Chain A
Amino acid sequence: MDWLHWLFYVGVILGAVPVMVMAFIWLERRGLGRLQLRPGPNRAGPFGILQPVADAIKVLTKEDIVPVAGDHWVHFVAPLVVFAPAMLVFTVIPFQEDGGLVRGLVPDLNIGILYIVAVSSISTIGVFMAAWGSNNKYSLISAFRSMAQVVSYEIPLALAILGVVLAAGTMSLTGIVQAQAVPFIVMQPLGFIIFFIAATAELNRTPFDLMEAESEMVAGYHIEYSGMKFALFYLAEYAYTVGISAIAATLFLGGWKAPWGVGPQVGVLWLVVKILLVFMVILWIRGTFPRVRVDQLMGFAWKFLFPLSLINIFIIAAESLAWPGLPWWLLFPNTAIALVLVVVWSGLFRLGGGRVQV
């Protein structure tokens, strides 16, 4: 093992991710402010750009409150269990390629995407530990909802990623990026839609933020956390958002590649631009959609996303057997199939209806 290589990329990941998280928090608060016709944070520094720094200092000097009724050790360990998997996602993201050499910590891990699917669901256990350790009813309801939600959306997410694996013929993220002569978002629009919705639900972001529904359960699973432990949850949540954006950029938007090969050939720059693009769409959705109800949430995953993702993988499998090279003109039938399926399938089932218990 090359120690210098390891040390460099660990430094890059541990340095870049918190910086990107701070930038994204600022971007989200400003952008959400714009979407809601208010200025957003604009006091600390020019355009409020120092707001995340001010928040960090505030949270650092806050009193740490641990409820006496809770389980202290579980309460202490939970932020770590949430935080570590969120960072682990970045280990296999390829940053750029120069001269046939792909840069990243372990970009050519042969089961790259399966590793990401496996690792990213560990943080749910941390969420549950946080709720259990707090011994708070709101927290516990939030954690149960989170469990049910993550468990339900895990299947469509993994199946949507499977379409990419089928087309690329490999699970290595480097191989997937290299297989994208045409980005997979154009080749598999249905897969991307399913992936994006399921990923938003996995991130517990609006419109799927039932576990943090302020009007129902105050703050959800981290209601009993304050100070730096709360900050770690917040950091993990945004790091995971960056991570999912990076995965979406790598799987569907062509990763480090410059679009049409034009522009500066600095891969990491394009990767950051694409991550930013995906993040802005997530932010846009947050500013636009109302929160769904819990029965609609579960029904949507099982009745809409799951059957469509199965159909999607069979379409991609049949295409990759009939035309092994997957020529670019397949994007026309695929787009047509995606449109028809989404419209037709939406009429096939009902979501909820009537009064429900939560």
Chain B
Amino acid sequence: MDYWAGYGSIALFLLVALIFGLITIILPKVLKLLGLVVRKPNAVKYTTYECGMETIGPSWVQFNFRYYIFALLFLVFDVLVVFLYPWAVSLRGGGWAAFTAMAVFIAVLLTGFLYAWKKGALEWR
């Protein structure tokens, strides 16, 4: 199978999967027309569920700052991972020179990681 045919197959499969999911969601709506699915509207039923309490204030609020630090760390090391994949495939061609180059690159990034660790960025408090 050539290069584009593979991705074409996957793209078409994505379309089929989306249609499969869409049919699954639409199906009860069709059954409702046939009277198989009940619908008894009720003002309380359509409120936000909070274990019986009435909702106070909006839910769409600013989130905790701690998530931001982990997102930042993730960004740094996900870029590292992206660099590592082609390196891994071509390592046997590159030899020990490629090995050393990547070791230096990771050592630089690890310095930042150790700094974050010592600074307490990995603590959840």
Using a CB–CB cutoff of 8 Å, the interface residues on chain A facing chain B are 1-2, 6, 10, 13-14, 60-70, 76, 79-80, 83-84, 87-88, 91-92, 105-106, 108-110, 114-115, 132, 134-140, 144, 147-148, 151-152, 154-155, 158-159, 162, 165-166, 169-171, 218, 223-224, 227-229, 231-232, 235, 294-295, 298-299, 302-303, 306, 310, 313-314, 317-318, 320-321, 324, 352, 354, 356-357
Contacts and interface: CB of A to CB of B under 8 A. Distances in A.
A61 B6 contact: no
Contacts of A299: 122-124
Interface SS of B by simple majority: helix
Contacts of A229: 25
B51 interface: yes
A232 B21 contact: yes
B67 A144 contact: yes
Contacts of B85: 114, 162, 165, 171
A106 B47 contact: no
B1 A108 contact: yes
B40 to A, nearest CB: 7
Counting chain B residues whose Cβ lies within 8 A of the other chain, the interface size class is 35 or more
Contact of B73 (A67, A302, A324): A302
Interface string B45-65: 111111100010011100110
Please list the 10 inter-chain residue pairs (A to B) with the smallest Cβ-Cβ separation, ordered nearest first: A295-B124, A87-B17, A151-B74, A165-B88, A106-B6, A1-B5, A83-B21, A80-B21, A84-B17, A158-B81
Contact of B125 (A61, A76, A295, A306): A295
Contacts of B113: 306
